[in-house]
Amino acid sequence: MHAPIIFGIRHHGPGSALSMLRALEAAPPDLILVEGPPEGEALLSLVNDPDMQPPVALLVYNPKNLHQASFFPFAEFSPEWQAIRFGLQHNIPVRFMDLPMELTFALRPEEDSAVQLQLGWAEKTAPTDPFTEIARLAGYADPERWWEAMFERGPAGTAETFAVVLELMRALREQKVHRGIAETRETLLREAYMRQCLRNAQKEGFKKIAIVCGAWHSPALADTEQVKIAADKNLLKGLKKVKTQTTWIPWSFDRLGAQSGYGAGVLAPAWYQILWNCSTHTSESTSPHVLWFSKAAQLLRTKDMTAASSQVIEAVRLSETLAALRHTALPGIEELREAAITVLCEGAEKPYELIEQQLVTGDVLGAVPPSTPLVPLRADFEAQVRSARLKLQTESQSLQLDLRESAHTQKSRLLHRLRLLNIPWGKPEAVGGRKEGGFHEHWTLQWMPDFEIQLIEAGALGNTVEVAAGRKAVYRMRETNRLSELVDLFDTVLKADLGAALPALVKKLRTVTALAQDSLDLAQTVLPLVEVLRYGHARQLDLEGIEQLLEQIVPRLCIQLPAACRAVNETVAAEILRDVLAVNRGIHLWRPEAYAAAWQAALVQISTHGAPLLAGLGSRLLFEQKAQTTAETALTMQFRLSRAQPTLEAAQWLDGFLNGSGLLLLHQPTLWQILDDWVGGLDAVIFPEMLPVLRRTFSRFSNPEREKMLDLARTTPNTGSTADLTLETWDAKRAALVQPLLAQLFQSPGKVSEREQ
């Protein structure tokens, strides 16, 4: 019986792929067995489709439990990919020979689902100990870098290279056995199944069999004749099966890089692509490291950073020198990094992060042909993306929408529906202080390959994005009785234009609102509902029911909210303050005339009986709405800042009173004088204790406001008014003594010290 030719490779190793390809070309086999899931054999013909653009991945999943899913990624430089292409192009049969996922999923417990959503050929327990030791003996701290230096860089190897790899792996496995470290059951099952595949192929009459597998497994397959067939059959006997489905999905370089580890990923996908291109493409005659530095310089120039040709030359020389000192044939990623930071980036790490993102990891996203089998929802999703004229890209991109245009409304509708399905392809950004404002939306789009499994999961809810999103909204509605969550869901459903889900959602909102006991929950719903009401016309939304909800909520709040503001600590008061401001804004935007009296009555109670922070805010809002005169507000302020009040409570009241803007003090000299008298009357021991609270209060003001306050503080005497100030009464020396504290309070150290008296 003819012995197979075993290519023990590094998954996604360009050097391994090139050496294997040269060996296959020199001695073509009559069958190629590739480590991979047999479920994917029916889809191998798509590898030669012109529309198939790696990186891509085979996705094998359990349709009844989508937590059980494994990805088998391929890049252009992956040895498995090149072996499959070679077989298809030369009419050589290609088969996958790994343990079927229908058996593997059954081996893994349900609670292990987080691990199962991984790369299919990542070892559950990687054999790192022997690799780490041999790497350490060779002078490498990382076994992956040792493997890269030995096998993935430099000239292509030959068939003899894989013979050396086989003997090395055999020695490492023997050492592992001597240490008493056993292989995992899953690894033993996989290797037993691989041997059975090899035996079956030999029985079929294939004589020149090429096996492409992870280097670690090569001794187990080379020694097939030494293992009894009965032993492998007994090992595989009785394994349970689960039903699986398989498809091709686009993959990305950043996902390849993120899954580093034995058998799982690669250190630098973009760099490996350059290595592959320079080795196989006749158009790339430049050395890979020279090409890499040239691209790095071009990238820096596009970002308006200096990168001269002389720097490129110097960086190339430095990388070559480092490689020579480390006894490697060509510079590797470490040499590239050190030379780039030293020369191109002039010692700065930040510019290199950009280079690393583009030329080490890369932002390449693959593509699969239209003939790829898809679940119905995935097909509808692709149609929706094409119709909306969007592109799936792993690189972050900004999208600005004007909802007065139907094409932009279509994009917005799709993105909101996907967010409902837990597919955050688009993330809304602030517009005018809100996430979505008026006729405009700003989004940041970034597609992740992991979203593919979420699309498949969403397919269980319906065959279209619209139907699935609507059902998801109804399920979420049934799972919560929190009013704030229901309002957020209502807002999203409206923006996603899911009219079928609205009746049930409005009914649930009314029921929960009627039964709500927590006034703070009610408070958090007002502004979102008002904004939906105000900006709904931009989307031509059906707003029936929102007015009735607000008419139900606002009167209750005016009665219940003051009680929630009493007897709370500072932390809770700070949270309630945001709710009070939101209600105040909501009423002002909705029906200020109809509810002004009721809301101001609530503010009077808050300003009188609320916690100090909230009482200060209540007084401020009453003054702004002209429900209190300047004289009444000044009287309240004098009382709250009097010596009879605890100093900390006075500071908290002031924090609430000044929340949002300092213009009130700048345009009301009387209030400023009261504050000035209070600060001036603070005891020398108390003042440093109050300083953090005061700094927090004044730090919220704009820089121009703080500058004007500083000027006002410098020109205002401790008592009296500015009209009584004369040169005769001004003591510059005494004023200079308080300037450091004033500067610390207003956070303008340079302003005080630089001005002349």
Is residue 727 over pLDDT 80?
no
From residue 606, alpha-carbon distances to 183, 528, 636, 676 in Å are 69, 23, 13, 25
pLDDT at residue 265 above 60? Answer: no
Answer whether residue 593 shows pLDDT above 50. Answer: yes
Query: Cis omega before residue 50 (within 30°)?
Result: no
Mean pLDDT for the chain overall: 84
DSSP per residue, 179-213? TT-PPPHHHHHHHHHHHHHHHHHHHTT--SEEEEE
Q: In the prediction, which pLDDT does 757 show?
A: 39
Confirm if 519 and 563 have CB atoms less than 8 A apart: yes
Q: What is the pLDDT of residues 631-685, one digit of tens each?
A: 888 889 888 888 788 888 988 998 898 886 677 777 878 778 877 777 777 777 7
The least confident of 22-26, 422-426, 458-462, 660-664 is 660-664
pLDDT at position 728, please? Answer: 52
Q: Which of 672, 670, 742 is nearest to 707 (CA)?
A: 742
Interval 294-324: pLDDT, tens: 999 999 999 989 899 999 999 999 999 999 9
In this prediction, residue 436 carries a pLDDT of 46
Bridge-partner residues for 62, per DSSP? Answer: 65
Closest CA to 218 of 452, 20, 76: 20
Beta strands at 5-9 and 209-214: parallel, antiparallel or unpaired: parallel
Please tell me whether residue 756 adopts helix, strand or coil conformation: coil
Contacts of 179 (CB under 8 A, 6+ apart): 129
100 secondary structure, DSSP code: P
Tell me: pLDDT of 21 over 90.
Answer: yes
What is the enclosing helix (H) or strand (E) of 72? Answer: strand 65-74
CA nearest to 319, candidates 330, 335, 304: 335
Pair 478, 494: CB distance under 8 Å: no
Mean pLDDT, to the nearest integer, of 724-740?
A: 65
Could you tell me which of 699, 698, 703, 732 has the C-alpha nearest to residue 715?
Answer: 732
For the CA atoms of 624, 626, 628, 634, what is the dihedral angle to 10 degrees? 50
Assign 719 a pLDDT band (cuts: 50, 70, 90).
very low
Q: What is the pLDDT of residue 259?
A: 53
Place of tokens 């359990």: 62
Q: pLDDT digits over 151-168, tens only?
A: 777 665 666 889 988 998
pLDDT at 751 over 50: no
Could you read off the pLDDT of 524-548 as tens digits, one per residue? 889 888 887 876 645 555 566 788 8
pLDDT at 723 over 80: no
The 8-class DSSP code of residue 112 comes to: G
Tell me how many degrees the CA angle 90-92-98 measures, rounded to the nearest 5: 130
* C-alpha span between 395 and 411 (Å, rounded): 18
Q: What pLDDT is stored for residue 209 in this prediction?
A: 96
Whole-number Cα distances in Å, 486 to 473, 490, 551, 577: 10, 6, 17, 22
Conformation bin of residue 92: beta by default, left when phi > 0, alpha when psi is -120 to 50: beta
> Side-chain half-sphere of 661: how many Cα atoms within 13 Å?
8
> What is the pLDDT, as a whole number, of residue 69?
83
Q: Which residue has the higher pLDDT, 261 or 176?
A: 176
pLDDT at 129 > cutoff 90: no
Q: Which helix (H) or strand (E) holds 428?
A: strand 426-429
Q: Output the CA angle 700-701-706, nearest 5 degrees.
A: 130
pLDDT score of 756: 38
Question: What per-residue confidence (pLDDT) applies to 166?
Answer: 92
Predicted local confidence at residue 110, as pLDDT: 54
- Buried-exposed string 422-449: b where 16+ CB fall within 10 A, e elsewhere: ebbbbebeebeeeebbbbbbbbebbbbb
pLDDT band for 120, please (50, 70, 90 cuts): low
**In which band, very low, low, confident or very high, does the pLDDT at 28 lie, cut at 50, 70 and 90?**
very high
Contacts with 267 (C-beta within 8 Å, 6 or more apart), sequence order: 144, 145, 148, 257, 260, 333
What pLDDT, in 10s, does the model give residues 331-352? 988 999 999 999 999 999 989 9
Alpha-carbon distance values, 150 to 134, 165, 327 (Å): 12, 10, 10
Environment class of 487 (CB within 10 Å of its CB; exposed 0-12, middle 13-18, buried 19+): buried
Distance in angstroms (rounded) separating the CA atoms of residues 74 and 245: 19
- Report helix, strand or coil for 98: coil
d(CA 292, CA 312): 10
| 444 bridge partner residues | 398, 427
* CB within 8 Å of 347: residues ≥ 6 apart: 341
Say yes or no to pLDDT of 583 above 90: yes
At 535 the pLDDT is 67
- Does pLDDT of 127 surpass 90? no
| H/E segment holding residue 130 | helix 128-137
> Is residue 691 within 8 Å of residue 731, measured between CB atoms?
no
> Tell me, what DSSP letter sits at residue 553?
H
pLDDT digits (tens, 9 = 90+) for 690-718: 778 778 778 878 888 888 888 877 776 55
Distance between CA atoms of 510 and 490, rounded to whole angstroms? Answer: 12
Which range among 453-462, 623-632, 661-670, 738-747 has the greatest average pLDDT?
623-632
**pLDDT tens-digit readout, 476-509:** 998 898 888 898 898 899 889 888 888 888 888 8
Mean pLDDT value of segment 617-621: 92
Residue in the structure block whose two tokens are 């630098």: 268
Of the candidates 297, 337, 331, which has an alpha carbon nearest to the alpha carbon of residue 313? 297
Residue pair 353/166 in contact by the 8 Å Cβ criterion: no
Do residues 464 and 380 touch, judged by C-beta distance below 8 A? yes
The three-class DSSP label of residue 68 is strand
R_g over Cα of the chain: 35
The residue behind tokens 């939306």 is: 441
pLDDT confidence bin for 116, thresholds 50/70/90: very low
Query: Following CA atoms 384, 389, 392, 395 in sequence, which dihedral angle do they give, to the nearest 10 degrees?
Result: -150
Rounded percentage of the chain residues whose pLDDT exceeds 90: 44
Rounded to whole angstroms, how far apart are CA atoms 605 and 439? 38
